[in-house]
Amino acid sequence: MHTRTALMDTGGRGDRATMTIEEPLDKTIITDFLRAGFNITPGALSFIKQRADPALFARMLLKSFNSTRQRVTITREILERIDKAVSDLVGDVPQPRIGTPPREPASSKPAAPLMIEQAKPMQEVTVDVDVARKTKVDQIVTRAKIEMPALAASAAAPVPAGVEAQPVLEAVTFEAASMISSATPVPAAELTSKSTFTPLAKEYPARVRIIEDCTGKLKNDGEFTDFLNVFHDRFEKIKAIFKARNDIPRITDIGDLGDGSRSGDETYIVGMVIEKRQTKTGNTMLVVDDKTGSINVVISVKNKDPKILVNIILDEVLCFKGFNKEGFFFATEFFWPDVKRNRKPQLASEDLSIALISDIHVGSDNHLGDLWDRFKHWIRCEGLSDKAREFAGKVKYIAIAGDLIDGVGVYPTQEDHLVIKDVYKQFERVAEMLAELPDYISFIISPGSHEPVRRALPQPAIPRSYAPGLYDLKATMVSDPAIVETHGIKTMLYHGESFIDLSIDIPGISNSTPEKSMEKLMMSRHLAPSFGKKTELAPDKRDWLVINDVPDILHTGHVHCNGIKMYHGTWLVNSGCFQGQTDFMKSLGIVPSPGKPTIISLKDFKLTTLNLSGA
């Protein structure tokens, strides 16, 4: 009897392909492929096991494949194409089906090996919109991307291995996606009957692990001490970040600075900024405190550029280097907790992707259903060329950073702009829209400022009582903020409520530059540093908004403007929206950039922005 070990499917809908390892046959096949430099999907393993002699069939395949300098993933589709190619070659000559030992005539020459050609990197292309609208989308704009392996079954000599892909952390705009509007959608049934294409994402089970989620864990007694607990927890967590840094030696408590033996000596202190003002001489004066006391910190314009000093905001925790003299701490240098500059993500071995979207606003008369339909057709691989289809077929996850619905009573006069005026029916419509996407895709959903949860941060997950349809889809429902891990890549979902405060407090930051807001939050290691402003913060036993575990992706929304930046190994992404400009947006000066979902590869960490609107 074989021992069976299953990798559990942690999310998704319908029947999913799960990898079941059957000892010793499965392990032997998988190990042989890995040693030969190939990954093998669960679907491909199942195809091999359907042969009369799976082990022999696997060995024949490995002998037939042309070696490559980079690891290639063998899918069920590839094996089906090999099977068909061999059948086409032999024509009407009676031959045993692939998978059984061939009986070669004595005079026959050895058959040429079946080869996997390493495709050349696709070049960046510029597509004329007017011309392209007459045809289906047939280009993916990307850089240094290796295509899925092409198969050849012929007597030709082996093709040299292709160019080895180099990891390039860059953002690319997929302009061709804007032409999906003119492509003729292909019904799912027609795709199934006329095409052997199997999306790579369908070959893998979902692997979603929740790392941080406040749902069901919020604790407060409604007392003022709960606010103190939040700030104490924030201070201790960020102080620990400073202590872990190699460039900061021993930290002195502010209360110990009164010791005369230390007066005038260079030292380091960590404190929360309570007050900030400019002196008559142009220096910056701060009042900072820790659990032992408070002190005035003076930062001279001679030591720091004023453009840097304006980024200091109230209630963030900083580290200061300097000396204590007559009750003042003269800082010669200061530090934000920030992120290590050389950090690198732990990339996935599977060639899968995650799509980032937000602010769909179903129920609003400004919801852009036509752009959503283009996204739906794209992710269903309808009307796409082989190249575009392979790219879209790698999307395994869709993360939605809040505002799936427009809600009810969120702002004055909102009811005049609702086409669905019941919050339950808004969620029903969202569930219907998501159910139209491929069933192998797993959803990760957090709330925003329009969902029926509390306004104050952190927000628990959208309750099942409001959105049973989303739970029926087996979506991973998490809080705002939350951190989830997919195949080793950690994504933080945060709606972005604090962006409005940052645009008011810091020159150079606006609602149209969310990437700058996210950079500031990463520097501060906190998602909403300032208390008592437009961003509502709830008291609790701990501060859930500290960025303690640095994510590989920070995904936000709220301001409806796309923004992308690579910051010390972390992709900062605001994924725009699927809503046109409302009167409320106009009052805030927000000009949205709708229809620009972001796709990030979990394997090589390359980022692609779809342009569904063509704008």
**Together in a domain, 153 and 299:** no
Confidence band (pLDDT; 50, 70, 90) for 172?
A: low
**Among 114-123, 331-340, 396-405, 504-513, the least confident range:** 114-123
**Together in a domain, 357 and 436:** yes
Note down the domain range covering 129. Answer: 4-161
- What's the token pair of residue 361? 């606003």
Question: Residue 198 falls within a domain, yes or no?
Answer: no
**Together in a domain, 386 and 447:** yes
- Check pLDDT > 80 for residue 190: no
Per-residue pLDDT, 41: 85
CATH number at residue 599: 3.60.21.50
**Together in a domain, 450 and 491:** yes
**Among 105-109, 295-299, 433-437, 545-549, the least confident range:** 105-109
**Together in a domain, 444 and 549:** yes
**Together in a domain, 497 and 575:** yes
Confidence band (pLDDT; 50, 70, 90) for 262?
A: low
**Together in a domain, 281 and 253:** yes
What does the alpha-carbon distance between residue 94 and residue 291 come to, in Å, rounded to a whole number?
A: 86
**Together in a domain, 348 and 331:** no
Per-residue pLDDT tens for 573-597? 999 999 999 887 888 788 999 999 9
Question: Residue 232 falls within a domain, yes or no?
Answer: no
CATH number at residue 277: 2.40.50.140
Q: Given 275, 310, 335, which residue is the final one in a domain? A: 335
Confidence band (pLDDT; 50, 70, 90) for 550?
A: very high
Residue 226: its H or E element = helix 224-243
- Check pLDDT > 80 for residue 601: yes
Per-residue pLDDT tens for 447-469? 999 999 999 999 999 999 999 99
Confidence band (pLDDT; 50, 70, 90) for 52?
A: confident
Whether the CB-CB separation of 596 and 163 falls below 8 Å is answered with no
- Nearest by Cα to 4 from 30, 22, 28: 22
Q: Once rounded to an integer, what is the mean pLDDT over residues 489-505?
A: 97
What does the alpha-carbon distance between residue 597 and residue 359 come to, in Å, rounded to a whole number?
A: 11
Question: Residue 137 falls within a domain, yes or no?
Answer: yes
Question: Residue 455 falls within a domain, yes or no?
Answer: yes
Q: How many structural domains does the chain have?
A: 3
Question: Residue 403 falls within a domain, yes or no?
Answer: yes
Q: Given 335, 354, 387, which residue is the final one in a domain? A: 335
**Mean pLDDT estimate for the chain:** 80
Residue 481: its H or E element = none
Helix ranges restricted to H, 22-71 = 25-35, 42-49, 54-64
Most confidently predicted of 35-39, 61-65, 159-163, 346-350: 346-350
Confidence band (pLDDT; 50, 70, 90) for 80?
A: confident
- What's the token pair of residue 323? 């000396």
Question: Residue 195 falls within a domain, yes or no?
Answer: no
- Check pLDDT > 80 for residue 402: yes
**Together in a domain, 325 and 362:** no
Per-residue pLDDT, 1: 39
- Nearest by Cα to 140 from 172, 113, 186, 109: 172
Per-residue pLDDT, 13: 56
Q: Given 161, 192, 226, which residue is the final one in a domain? A: 161
Question: Residue 540 falls within a domain, yes or no?
Answer: yes
Question: Residue 235 falls within a domain, yes or no?
Answer: no
Per-residue pLDDT, 562: 96
**Together in a domain, 274 and 360:** no
**Together in a domain, 413 and 267:** no
Give backbone dihedrals phi and psi of 270, rounded to 5 degrees, phi first: -125, 130
Per-residue pLDDT tens for 517-529? 999 999 999 999 9
What does the alpha-carbon distance between residue 344 and residue 338 come to, in Å, rounded to a whole number?
A: 15
Per-residue pLDDT tens for 137-171? 333 333 323 233 333 332 233 333 332 333 334 45
Per-residue pLDDT, 342: 85
Whether the CB-CB separation of 26 and 44 falls below 8 Å is answered with no
**What CA–CA distances, in Å, run from 260 to 264, 292, 297?**
9, 17, 18
Q: How many CB atoms lie within 10 A of CB 169?
A: 13
**What CA–CA distances, in Å, run from 265 to 255, 270, 290, 322, 331?**
15, 16, 20, 8, 12
**Together in a domain, 524 and 377:** yes
